[in-house]
Copies of this chain bind each other. A is one copy, B any other.
Amino acid sequence: MRSKPTQPRMSDVAKAAGVSTMTVSRAFKQDASVNEKRRSEILRIADEMGYIFDKSASELRTKRTGFVAVTVPSINNSNFADTVRGLTDSLAESGLEALLGYTNYHIDQEEQIIKQLLRRKPEAMVVTGSTHTDKTRSRLKRSGIPVVECWDEPHNPVGYSVGYSGAAAGSMVADHLVERGYKRIGFIGGHTQTDTRGTDRQRGFTERLREHGLPHDRIISVGPPPVGMAQGARGAQLLLERFPDTDAIMCVADSAAFGAMTEFQRSGMRIPDDIAVAGFGAFDVGAFSLPDITTIDPKGYAIGEGAGRLIAALLAGTAGSGSGSHVSIEPSLVVRHST
């Protein structure tokens, strides 16, 4: 039985190496001036002792944490996963890490998560969407660090933003369906209150239908996000009950589109002959399904990458314009066989 299983500190390493604590500290820095031979010797000894650098102590003294906090609604969504990858990759180039929190699509949970993350003093903050509680907004504004809102084009931005207009994306799909000759077109989405980005798409979609002089009231709401396959299937049932002569629908996400499409197929309908189906998000499932599903590619990786680059520039003081600037990422229509 060992007497004291306490972790070694930097001073313990210093003692073992016969140098001062400062020299050990320098040995652990990239560019500090230490005798090279001595440095490798120190690192060897530290490793041997099982020394683990204490980030809390370092952070307290340097006031640099080297990380960016990120909040996403869900960790199981390929769009947000792409954004996190893009962000992680681009931040890595500046030696920054990303620390992830997830909100479950609830702005109240977001408030808690952001509060906790801010206590760790991130160098910048990336959040998803532009709908936040008042407390969150004021905390972010007062935090003194760069804030980037992703996946949206905020009307009332907290700071910077990287994304696209969800409404514009919705109208792209509407135009496409109208061009294809569909006349009785519906939309399946989530609750207007909670699925805020989905509601933007819906608004752009139905608004454009109206401009084309088509009915735009065939809207099915299937509950709070995430709007997945089960919700899409349920939405398809509701649509057939309420608007049985619908000839095309857009779903708020590809997962829902797949759920709806397979539900239609189960009831004997053919896609797109009996009903056309479009989605959003360019998820894998819509690329491999039978038929494959027309969708919008929102460029999730590019959004994350853009946010990461913006932050790197801001922290390096290389930023161009002033606060509140927006980086636009243009989504693209991907036409496939379901329409």
Contact = CB atoms under 8 A, between A and B. Distances in A.
B265 A285 contact: no
A215 interface: no
A100 B262 CA distance: 35
A101 to B, nearest CB: 8
Given A100-B75, A285-B229, A56 B59 contact: yes
Interface string A121-144: 100000000000000001100111
A15 interface: no
Given A50-B142, A75-B84, A97-B116, A284 B229 contact: yes
Interface stretch (A182-190, A198-206, A273-281, A287-295): A287-295
B233 A262 contact: no
Contacts of A119: 52-55
Contacts of A288: 229-230, 233, 258-259, 262-263
Interface of A: 5, 7, 50, 52-57, 59-60, 65, 74-78, 81, 84, 97, 99-100, 116, 118-121, 138-139, 142-144, 228-230, 233, 255, 258-259, 262-263, 265-266, 284-285, 287-290
A47 to B, nearest CB: 9
Contacts of A53: 119
Residue among A97, A138, A228, A289 with most chain B CB within 10 A: A289
Given A52-B139, A55-B121, 7 more contacts: A50-B139, A100-B100, A229-B284, A258-B288, A259-B288, A262-B290, A289-B289
26 contacts: A7-B144, A50-B138, A50-B139, A52-B119, A52-B139, A52-B143, A54-B60, A54-B121, A55-B56, A55-B120, A56-B59, A56-B60, A56-B65, A60-B60, A75-B81, A75-B100, A76-B77, A76-B78, A76-B81, A228-B284, A229-B285, A230-B284, A233-B288, A255-B284, A259-B288, A285-B285
Contacts of A287: 229
A22 to B, nearest CB: 19
A143 B97 CA distance: 22
Contacts of A75: 75-76, 81, 84, 100
Top-3 shortest CB links A-B = A76-B81, A50-B142, A56-B59
A77 B285 CA distance: 13
Given A120-B55, A229-B285, A229-B287, A5 B262 contact: no
A188 to B, nearest CB: 14
Contacts of A56: 55-57, 59-60, 65, 120-121
Contact of A262 (B59, B255, B259, B289): B289
A57 B61 CA distance: 9
A103 to B, nearest CB: 12
